[in-house]
Amino acid sequence: MVIEKNLYQEYRCYHNAPLNCDRPLQTVIDTPEVRHLSVKYCTGCGFPAILAQNVEIKGSRGIYRVNNFLSTRGLGRMYSGIRISDNQPIFIREYLLPNRSYNEEENRRRKKTFKRVAGVSLADGRNQSFRLINPIEAIADERGERCYLIIQDVEVSQSLRQYLQDNGAMEPSYIREFLNQALQTLQFLHTQKLRLSDNQIKQGMAHGNLSLDSILIQLEKNQNRQSHQQFYIYFCDLAVWECLFEHPTVETSQPQPEEDLIAIGLTAFYLWVGRDVDTSSGQLLNPKEDRLWWNTDVSLKQFLHRLIGLDTPFESAENARKELLQLPKPSQSYITTSTSHKEEDKGWKKSWILLWGILALILLGGSIWYFLKPSSLNTRQENPLWSHLVPNFSDVPSLPSGQFTYTAERDSTWSFILRQQAQTTKFVQEALTKFSNTTFIYKPLHSTDPRGTKLPLDAVRECKADPCQAYFAITSFPAEDGGLRSQAIANDGLFIYVAHSQKDSNLPKLLKGKISLNTLRKIYTGQITNWKDVDKNLPDLEIKAYAPTEPEGILLFQRQVLNNDPQLIAAYEKVTKQNTQPTTETIEVIVAQFEKNQAGIIAFGILSKVLNQCNAYPLAISQDDNQVAVQPLFQPDGKPIDPDIDLCKKRGSHGYYIDEVNFKHYPLSHQLFVVYPKDNSLKLAGPAFCKLLITREGQSLLQKAGLVPLVSIPENACQ
């Protein structure tokens, strides 16, 4: 059983998700003197607000005091606290049964069941946890809308989701250890006699709610960074009590052990990739998409296919763990699998299969480096795998002969990149046109509608026989159908920027150099129109929200910030109707208007158009106000930029730069793709163009033109 997100539709929340909304927290901040639970409601929609500091919760085993709100996790909120009798630190998990969603009878029944089932231990009394976070007490507020779990502080407060946000993708060897521990805990849960809080005995039970949020990780402290990082994982939030706080309209079923195996497999897959959601579509990643798997540990990949159910499933957690422990080491599995395949082509295909494998290693290596990097890094480190890329365009073998037309949207990132003079005497388009007997001809398509970004893909779909009007397209939107193949060639993104004025009260400094997607959403939909409404320390100054003219940039903003919500998009179009213009024009007027106190402009634009200028300051971005913001732009000394620096002092290749590994965690990043037909009967112009761009010369060229390369490039490369 997968527990879905509860929307509490009876509450007219601005975000349609009051459990994750910031207004209940703001209610507490605005009225800290209010201490009674029964009067704590969101000022916007009436949803139960966050517990204030020093609120006391009385249970049968003690009285507990709330210290701080930590986060929302699943269907509950997390707080730090203490047990008053001995000052023992605890965690408090709060669940809600708001009266507009649950009638009196449902409220009473769920509270009664909660106190009866919230807690699991061995039936024979042995004190073995097998890494289950078990509450010490379950409390139901008989007269209110809240229930609480009191959890002993075991120094495990980081979920796997938080781990990924901080460290990036997990190395395959660590994923093996994660699976070893997880399957051992599942074996315990599924087979042992267990006792619930009311002394009811069960012969095994399924967890039913395994995810990046309900699995916690504890990293061993004081370890040498060069050694293998040791960690322990813990399960929490079992479905037996978590599902009691689902909306009454949600039908739940009895969790099954085989569903736990699938959930653990998917969690391991997300750890491998470094995220669980496709940032462009907002949908969960699909493990059936082979492009998401790096072929660095083929045996582990095949094992996860079975665990997820893409191949013959395992009968039990015990059987799965036995096979896991017998898997060959990553190097052995890679060699064995590579040598088992027949050579289908003696020519250039064989060498490029090896190249894609090396590229996969490089990309994974970036994530491993991020996980193991020292906490303080002052200079860019050379990526040792950089040398494995083919050096130059001239070293790419067996390019198809002939002229090949390709396309992109006229005002897209790619059209802009082609016009950049990334080499001393050549523009990018000239550098990427003629290669021996191969010529690539660029013919853009144009649409003023953001939905027109589909036109290039439609043109490629029409390529059925040689010659084609478009052998391939370059776009920020990978193909989603079976007839086309997408290959990433570089990283790209959107910058959110404000005026970088020399005034003491400049916006970047007052904003502390950052902004959240929640605040952006409110600004671009007209909910916030004055900077003072963002923060009381900001000036009483009108906000003008500007948008660029590029359909590609607009559509990416609507997807990544507005979540493709039709109502939000309609509000956005109204707000930006009079303030849509090319990025270069916005950057020219942005400082002048601010220094004259006419307006405080905020704008967004594609990365390459905002780089290498100093009128506009790109803000660090966070998902919400409670999360750490990510600044993609770094100073020459390896530190992120801050509002106190003068962006005009150092620009260009020896000045500010984007750290490739850090950029993967930037909320508004995405990739640029070459999309071409899967039909091998056509001349392979698309794959050939990819091979040229994924060389050392190609990646350096794209970096100088304003894109972020797929792999970290040494500072002295291709100068």
Q: Which fold has domain 492-669?
A: D-Maltodextrin-Binding Protein; domain 2 (3.40.190)
* Amino acid 349: pLDDT: 46
Question: Could you give the percent of the chain with pLDDT greater than 90?
Answer: 41
* Amino acid 155: pLDDT: 56
492-669 matches 18-152 in CATH topology: no
Whole-number Å distance between alpha carbons of 273 and 285: 9
Whole-number Å distance between alpha carbons of 362 and 683: 28
Report the SS3 class of residue 159: strand
Tell me the average pLDDT of the chain.
Answer: 81
Confidence of residue 238 (pLDDT cuts 50, 70, 90): very high
* Amino acid 283: pLDDT: 79
Task: Name the pTM for this structure.
Answer: 0.50
Per-residue pLDDT tens over the stretch 555-614 = 999 999 999 899 999 999 999 999 999 998 898 888 667 667 666 899 999 999 998 788
Q: Is 201 exposed, middle or buried (0-12, 13-18, 19+ CB in 10 A)?
A: exposed
Query: How many CB atoms are located within 10 Å of the residue 132 CB?
Result: 18
662: nearest Cα among 159, 160, 165: 165
Q: Is the pLDDT of residue 369 over 70?
A: no
For residue 583, give the DSSP letter: H
* Amino acid 638: pLDDT: 81
Confidence of residue 224 (pLDDT cuts 50, 70, 90): very low
* Amino acid 339: pLDDT: 37
* Amino acid 34: pLDDT: 44
Lowest mean pLDDT among 225-239, 491-505, 508-522, 531-545: 225-239
What integer is the mean pLDDT of 522-545?
93
Q: Is the pLDDT of residue 343 over 70?
A: no
Give me the residue spans of the domains in the chain.
Answer: 18-152, 167-233+246-324, 492-669
For residue 707, give the DSSP letter: P
Per-residue pLDDT tens over the stretch 625-667 = 878 899 999 888 888 999 988 787 655 444 688 877 788 889 9
Query: How many CB atoms are located within 10 Å of the residue 678 CB?
Result: 12
* Amino acid 36: pLDDT: 42
Per-residue pLDDT tens over the stretch 133-186 = 888 899 999 888 999 999 986 555 688 988 887 788 888 889 999 999 999 999
CATH number of the domain at 167-233+246-324, out of 3.40.710.10, 1.10.510.10, 3.30.56.10, 1.10.10.10? 1.10.510.10
Q: Is the pLDDT of residue 401 over 90?
A: yes
165: which residues sit within 8 A by CB, 6+ positions away? 627, 628, 665
Q: Is the pLDDT of residue 125 over 70?
A: no
What's the first-to-final CA gap in the chain, in angstroms?
A: 55
State yes or no: cis peptide before 467, omega within 30 of 0.
Answer: yes
Q: Is the pLDDT of residue 716 over 60?
A: no
Q: Is the pLDDT of residue 346 over 70?
A: no
Q: Which fold has domain 18-152?
A: Phosphorylase Kinase; domain 1 (3.30.200)
